[in-house]
């Protein structure tokens, strides 16, 4: 049994639309019309009744009952058994079918009939065809013999399915064909002695169409998925795959959903890799559950057989460059003013370049509690962040850490501004095992954290009718210095400096380091809006931190304190003069070295015909220097071009590139994409070609790659 998977091609609103006659599939009938109690009416130019009660109607004959309509020139009706006979040409339609044929007979009582030399179609669908004989043996069950079927318009459809016998079961939503042949442009691409396929949008177990691709290191890849509709809330897809350069692999996906739980299992298993001689596998299991409206759980298991797995089998740069796989189990709770979490997690390092001393710690477990509760109605709030966690690893110090940060915030707000003073105390303590190395087993740290955040909202009407805002903001932070040189470094690192860091109480992630501070942030944001539509024309934000004292807390005891008078100057600009054109710029300027630390420049253009151009340049001093270009071009209603180049100027190497085309018609579509991407740190690239053929309303053959623009259905 072969099941044909159905895929339809969505069109973006901006793309040139295909002038197609209708959908490729009929909607699933919710209920069959009640015809038994409906009267039969006949209109004609002439009507004769014999003594035996049989009637003969001729001349523009129209017979109606409920949703049924027959039109012909001559009709014979026997009211005793409810049978009509049409010796000549006729047309018929109901909630399911519309057809034309000859030599028809139909029984209204038993809901069965026989039609010869028919041209048929499914109501509300572009699916149509012809048959030598159509037998309707019940209101929702039909049989066609020597038929042709297609969803293509016109007299010469591009693809045609022929069969000696076809059974249509509208109760089950499936068609069953025997001795079926599929031709594409008169070229036979498939022959099956027996097959089934859907005739509406209900799920059905069976084989899906195969996919094929090729890559320079894995050779030709071929797979044929099997879809298993286990239950209304469960399904699975099992795919045997074969790589000509490596051997066989089994891939699977299982999904389930209940009222309170949901989850998915994905796996790949290769028992014997011809290149390595080893067993290769990857599995990922996700599960979530709700015990009550306030409490739930989550589980994530993600494991791979070896460090090179993603380099050998990934289909993109992002997938091949993964460094860690996380495994996690946890419980979450929440109330009106609080949240609670209890988790345990572990990591698998899949990047051999990661040093053992830099591998992440296991948290066995981590318990966190957060409170944010108003005190009265004058803007006072009590806030609390607390964490208890045990860190474990094969190398380095291990132990537990307790961190608590209670504080009081006063939020004074008006229509034109706000004032938010905050005062708190952060305390952190440890219980450590240094495994023979020197160190304090129970260090602790306590420090005050005081901040004042204030800003104004000003606006004015400009001469061109726009609304412009002016939003100055000041943020003062004071944290006294505490020596933390003897503390472990479980999960702390300097934050990547950005606009949000201008208003944060700590320069470091985690709780192992709390930065000292005596600083003032000066920031300003201004925006311009179209008052009629609310469309933002442009926005400009910039800011900088002024340091009144040296920053003594560092990541390691060997780092020198920071004696800068000011942070890098940050500016972020967005500009959207029209709904088709938008741009953004983000930059950080270091006054000490007179250099740019970080720069991101992006531009995107959307033409009226759906053409898209995206360009982005990313720079971070001493670590990143690359550009990314994406282009999508609908040439007309059928043809589309797509391309992308991601290049590193620092390494002078191509990170990823792809180019291809897509052809789309009313009944079939073809997508061909060639891709090249960096698969490992040694500079090796993967070259692959992906081909996808979609016969609309019937099947999709091949593997679809990720879209260039994720808000665009390609």
Rounded distance between C-alpha atoms, residue 395 and residue 387, angstroms: 23
Give the DSSP per-residue string, 525-569: EEEEEETTT--EEEEEEEEEEEESS-B---SSTTSPPB--SBPPE
pLDDT category at 474 given cuts 50, 70, 90 is very high
- Interval 432-451 mean pLDDT: 91
| pLDDT number for residue 124 | 66
Within-domain flag for 305:
no
* pLDDT score, position 21: 57
| Within-domain flag for 226 | no
> Percentages helix, strand, coil for the chain, rounded to the nearest 5?
0, 60, 40
Tell whether 488 is covered by a domain: yes
Specify the higher pLDDT residue, 281 or 9: 281
Question: In angstroms, rounded to a whole number, what is the distance separating the alpha carbons of residues 616 and 627?
Answer: 6
Going by C-beta distance under 8 Å and a sequence separation of 6 or more, which residues neighbour residue 558?
A: none
8 Å CB contact between 605 and 633: no
Tell me how far apart the alpha carbons of residues 222 and 247 are, in angstroms, rounded to a whole number: 11
Range of the domain at 493: 414-424+434-598
What's the token pair of residue 33?
Answer: 């019309």
Per-residue pLDDT, 7:
31
Question: How do residues 124-145 score in pLDDT, each as one tens digit?
Answer: 667 788 899 888 887 678 888 9
Do 15 and 51 belong to one domain? no
Q: Is the pLDDT of residue 703 over 80?
A: no
pLDDT in tens, 260-302: 999 999 999 999 999 889 999 999 999 999 999 999 999 999 9
More confident residue, 443 or 95: 443
Query: Are residues 443 and 549 part of one domain?
Result: yes
Bridging pattern class, strands 159-169 and 569-575 = unpaired
Read off the pLDDT of residues 378-436 as tens digits, 9 standing for 90 and up.
889 999 999 999 999 988 899 999 999 999 999 999 999 999 999 999 999 999 999 88
The per-residue pLDDT for 520 is 97
Res. 655: pLDDT tops 80: yes
Q: What's the confidence (pLDDT) of residue 705?
A: 63
- Are residues 476 and 559 both part of a single domain? yes
Last residue of a domain, one of 200, 226, 253: 200
Q: What is the H or E stretch that residue 227 is in?
A: strand 226-231
pLDDT of residue 30: 46
Q: What is the DSSP letter of 439?
A: -
Query: Has residue 11 got a pLDDT over 50?
Result: no
Q: 571 is written with which tokens?
A: 């500016």
Same domain, 151 and 187: yes
pLDDT for res 465: 83
Of 61, 79, 224, which Cα lies nearest the Cα of 699?
224
| pLDDT grade for 24, boundaries at 50, 70 and 90 | very low
- Kindly tell me if the per-residue pLDDT of 664 is higher than 90: no
Question: Residue 534: what pLDDT?
Answer: 83
Would you place residue 341 in the very low, low, confident or very high pLDDT band (cuts 50, 70, 90)?
A: very high
Q: Within this chain, do residues 556 and 688 fall inside the same structural domain, yes or no?
A: no
Say whether both 6 and 79 belong to one domain.
no
**Cβ(586)–Cβ(497) below 8 Å:** no
Q: What are phi and psi of 463, to 5 degrees?
A: -65, -25
Q: Is the pLDDT of residue 8 over 80?
A: no
pLDDT tens for 536-588 read: 899 999 999 999 999 999 988 888 888 889 999 999 999 998 888 999 999 99
Closest CA relative to residue 430, chosen from 386, 464, 390: 390
pLDDT tens column, 503-525: 999 999 999 999 999 999 999 99
Give the residue, 383 or 30, on which the prediction is more confident. 383
Q: Write the pLDDT tens digit of every residue in 223-244.
A: 888 989 999 899 999 999 999 9
- Does some domain include residue 401? no
- Nearest alpha carbon to residue 126 among 532, 665, 683, 603: 665
The pLDDT mean for the chain works out to 86
Task: Name the β-bridge partners of 346.
Answer: 327
* Residue-level pLDDT at 507: 94
Average the pLDDT over 353-377 and give the result. 89
Q: Which of 200, 215, 231 is the last residue of a domain?
A: 200
> Rounded to an integer, what distance in angstroms lies between the CA atom of residue 301 and that of residue 288?
12
Is pLDDT of 150 > 70?
Answer: yes
Write down the pLDDT at residue 708.
66
Do 574 and 633 reside in the same domain of the chain? no
Same domain? 493 vs 592: yes
Instruction: Look at residue 702 and tell me if it is in a domain.
Output: yes
Judge if 541 and 579 occupy the same domain.
yes
Are 4 and 65 in a shared domain? no
Indicate whether 16 and 143 sit together in one domain. Answer: no
- Residue 418 DSSP SS3: strand
Q: Are residues 83 and 180 in the same domain?
A: yes
E strand segments, 335-465 = 338-349, 362-375, 380-392, 398-410, 412-414, 417-433, 444-456, 458-461
Residue 684 lies in a domain: yes
* 73, containing H or E segment: strand 68-78
Q: What is the CATH number of the domain that holds 88?
A: 2.60.450.10
Angstrom distance (rounded) from CA 62 to CA 278 = 73
Its pTM stands at 0.77
Question: Domains in the chain: how many in total?
Answer: 3
- Residue 251 belongs to a domain: no
Of 178, 200, 222, the residue that ends a domain is: 200
Please tell me the predicted confidence (pLDDT) of residue 714: 46
Please report whether residue 373 resides in a domain. Answer: no
């Amino acid at each position: 049994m072969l099941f044909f998977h159905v895929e339809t091609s969505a069109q973006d609103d901006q793309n040139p639309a295909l002038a197609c006659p209708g959908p490729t599939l009929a909607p699933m009938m919710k209920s069959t019309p009640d015809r038994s109690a409906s009267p039969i009416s006949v209109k004609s130019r002439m009507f004769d009744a014999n003594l035996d009660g049989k009637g003969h109607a001729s001349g523009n004959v129209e017979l109606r009952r409920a949703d049924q309509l027959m039109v012909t020139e001559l009709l014979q009706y026997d009211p005793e058994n409810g049978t009509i006979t049409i010796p000549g040409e006729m047309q018929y339609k109901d909630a399911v079918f519309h057809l034309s044929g000859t030599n028809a007979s139909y029984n209204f009582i038993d809901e069965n009939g026989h039609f010869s030399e028919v041209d048929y179609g499914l109501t509300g669908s572009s699916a149509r065809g012809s048959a030598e004989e159509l037998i309707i043996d019940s209101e929702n069950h039909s049989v066609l013999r020597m038929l042709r079927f297609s969803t293509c318009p016109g007299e010469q459809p591009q693809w045609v399915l022929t069969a000696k016998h076809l059974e249509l079961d509208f109760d089950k939503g499936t068609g069953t064909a025997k001795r079926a042949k599929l031709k594409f442009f008169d070229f036979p691409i498939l022959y099956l002695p027996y097959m089934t396929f859907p005739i509406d949008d209900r799920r059905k177990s069976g084989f899906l169409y195969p996919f094929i691709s090729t890559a320079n290191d894995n050779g030709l890849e071929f797979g044929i998925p099997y879809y298993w509709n286990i239950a209304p809330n469960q399904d699975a897809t099992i795919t045997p795959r074969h790589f000509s350069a490596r051997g066989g692999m089994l891939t699977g996906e299982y999904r389930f959903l209940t009222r309170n739980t949901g989850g998915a299992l994905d796996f790949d298993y290769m028992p014997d890799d011809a290149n390595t001689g080893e067993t290769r596998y990857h599995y990922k299991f996700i599960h979530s559950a709700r015990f009550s409206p306030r409490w739930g759980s989550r589980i994530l298991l993600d494991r791979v057989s070896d460090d090179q797995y993603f380099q050998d089998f990934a289909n993109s740069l992002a997938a091949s460059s993964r460094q860690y796989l996380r495994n996690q189990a946890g419980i979450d709770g929440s109330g009106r003013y609080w949240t609670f979490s209890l988790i345990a997690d572990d990591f698998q390092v899949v990047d051999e370049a990661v040093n053992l001393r830099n591998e992440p710690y296991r948290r066995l477990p981590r318990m966190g509690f957060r409170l944010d509760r108003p005190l009265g109605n004058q803007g006072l709030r009590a806030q609390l962040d607390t964490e208890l966690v045990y860190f474990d690893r094969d190398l380095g110090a291990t132990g537990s850490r307790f961190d608590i940060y209670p504080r009081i915030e006063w939020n004074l707000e008006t229509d034109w501004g706000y004032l938010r003073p905050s005062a708190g105390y952060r305390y952190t303590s440890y219980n450590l095992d240094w495994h023979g190395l020197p160190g304090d087993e129970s260090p602790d740290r306590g420090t005050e954290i005081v901040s004042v955040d204030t800003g104004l909202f000003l606006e004015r009407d400009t001469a061109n009718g726009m609304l412009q805002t002016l939003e100055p903001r000041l943020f003062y932070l004071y944290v006294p210095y505490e020596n933390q040189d003897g503390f472990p470094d479980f999960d702390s690192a300097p934050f990547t400096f950005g606009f949000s860091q201008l208003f944060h109480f700590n320069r470091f992630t985690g709780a192992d380091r709390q930065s000292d501070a005596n600083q003032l942030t000066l920031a300003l944001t201004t925006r311009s809006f179209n008052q009629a539509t609310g469309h933002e024309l442009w926005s400009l934000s910039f800011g900088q931190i002024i340091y009144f004292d040296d920053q003594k807390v560092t990541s390691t005891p060997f780092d020198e304190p920071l004696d800068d008078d000011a942070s890098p100057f940050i500016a972020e600009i967005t500009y959207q003069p029209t709904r088709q054109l938008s741009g953004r710029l983000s930059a950080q300027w270091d006054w000490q070295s007179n250099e740019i630390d970080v720069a991101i420049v992006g531009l995107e253009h959307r033409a009226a015909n759906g053409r898209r151009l995206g360009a982005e340049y990313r720079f971070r001093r001493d670590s990143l220097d690359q550009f990314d270009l994406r282009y999508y071009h609908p040439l007309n209603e059928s043809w589309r071009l797509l391309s992308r180049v991601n290049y590193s100027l620092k390494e002078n190497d191509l990170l990823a590139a792809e180019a291809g085309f897509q052809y789309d018609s009313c009944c079939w579509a073809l997508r061909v994409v060639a891709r090249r991407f960096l698969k490992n740190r040694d500079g090796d690239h993967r070259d692959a070609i992906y081909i996808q053929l979609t016969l609309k309303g019937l099947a999709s053959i091949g593997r679809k790659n990720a879209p260039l623009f994720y808000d665009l259905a390609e």
